[in-house]
Structure 1
């Protein structure tokens, strides 16, 4: 009796199906974001997961990175969340983008969108997360992304200013450094938790005021940072 060989799914086919599913869900409109999702090998950022169908499922969060005490440090968000954030950010070719909370995959997506004339910096406070991101990005050809080990409360001033700041961890406020490192017409996309609910909000800068007119609900790993002092930006969130 001859055993039937197991067919390994083609990642490119799975990526195409993932993009199609996001379009059907009404979450994907930008052709630049769609092209990035169809290009970056998500499975390369999930070394602990062998089920490619699961990796490319639009609602699957990839295996978390854990702290030594077993608490959850970092995850690669489900692609429907990443698509929503990238659409909200409206990243354009040539922009300088700071990602707060690193996993590697989302930074690679941003790098595809900004193209060779843009610049991407991703920062995380956890050395293990940063090392994993660097390893995965190097293995997939995204070495030009700046991967920084630091407390994101202070941003990354050495690569500022940024046209976009995309925060991929849950926050309770917007530190002064983020506003200071944002261009005059920049945008911050951040999951803010207030009134017991986390809302993904896209804030546009006008002077020292950040204004938003809509939000999307979502869940994120909380931001780990030190307590800080300083004057916060004025935040204005209009009713949805």
Structure 2
């Protein structure tokens, strides 16, 4: 009986190193980084889901309404953004969880493509609350506050905005402007006849100014920066008028649309 127990003990001692070696090899063959992308992906999706809702700019000028943003997250389509009823045809390029930012590459027929940065800014007074800071490719910024979660009607509005873009006739109605895609200037110039005429007249003056005057290019750049920085119809209308008056006073240019 004792010999039998001794034999079992010796067998167990011999098997122990083999089992330990097999376990070590199994651990060594497992790449701990293989699960990291999945965890990062889930966190990135969670970041985008946290934006889902109706947001608005925190300031308005005169009678101009605040700018409304609809952020909608869908498992199949990802993050979709509508700004004042117009779909920002974009694709998420990067989610930086460490810095709380999201990069959205926006393409448009009304201007050049650009990358828009959405940053979550924590609220120091309310735990878990945050605002959004939007930075456009041209440097324009907007601060958004949360209004409410999306309703079924809101989500249908997002779908309708996307359908409206997809149903546009690419052969007609082309909007000619150098305004950045998604900017207030681009939306007004391409959406309202008044601003379309003002912009066309201003661009005609830009061309003549650049062609005829040595300092024309610098003046055009300064005027363009101011126009693109406008965040309301009143601001843009005033900027057109100011630059027309400046051109009339300092240059001999052709007649353009009346800004009054």
**TM interval, short-chain normalised:** 0.3 to 0.5
- With normalisation by structure 1, the TM-score equals 0.33
- With normalisation by structure 2, the TM-score equals 0.31
Judging by fraction of residues, say which structure has more helix.
2
